[in-house]
């Protein structure tokens, strides 16, 4: 896994960014390379376990789905909040109307 990790750091921008971050954190090149190797092994294991092919844009697609889902839920939350607020206002209005009719002696 040593040579593939060296190649990944050299050619893959994601691994290159991870490597430079780890190198800045530890200052030890071999430790950063071992972390890259571990990441590559994890990806290989997941691909074999799920029996799928590698998708370089997987993370971006996953984040796009999450953002879309959260926007939908946010819209639903806003609608529910407005509905509850209107419902509360109507309830207060009916309570005030009932107390006013009792105070004026206007019973049906």
pLDDT at residue number 77: 67
CA 26 vs CA 16, 19, 34, 51, 67: distances in Å: 15, 10, 12, 35, 33
Cβ–Cβ < 8 Å for 72, 62: no
pLDDT > 70? residue 95: yes
Q: Which two tokens stand for residue 97?
A: 């109307």
pLDDT bucket at 75, cuts 50 / 70 / 90: low
Query: Cα–Cα distance between 26 and 16 in angstroms, integer?
Result: 15
Mean pLDDT of 5-27: 89
pLDDT at residue number 78: 66
- CA angle 58/52/50 to nearest 5° reads 100
Query: Cα–Cα distance between 33 and 23 in angstroms, integer?
Result: 9
pLDDT > 70? residue 60: yes
Determine the length of the chain: 108
Q: Could you read off the pLDDT of 33-49 as tens digits, one per residue? A: 999 999 999 989 999 99
């Amino acid at each position: 896994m040593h040579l593939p990790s060296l190649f990944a750091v050299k050619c893959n921008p994601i691994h290159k960014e991870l490597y430079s971050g780890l190198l800045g954190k530890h200052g030890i090149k071999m430790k950063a390379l071992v972390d890259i190797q571990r990441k590559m092994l994890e990806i290989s294991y997941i691909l074999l376990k799920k029996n799928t092919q590698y998708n370089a844009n997987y993370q971006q697609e996953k984040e796009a789905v999450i953002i879309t889902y959260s926007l939908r839920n946010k819209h639903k939350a806003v609608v529910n909040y407005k509905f509850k607020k209107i419902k509360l206002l109507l309830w207060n209005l009916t309570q005030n109307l009932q107390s006013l009719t009792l105070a004026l002696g206007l019973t049906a």
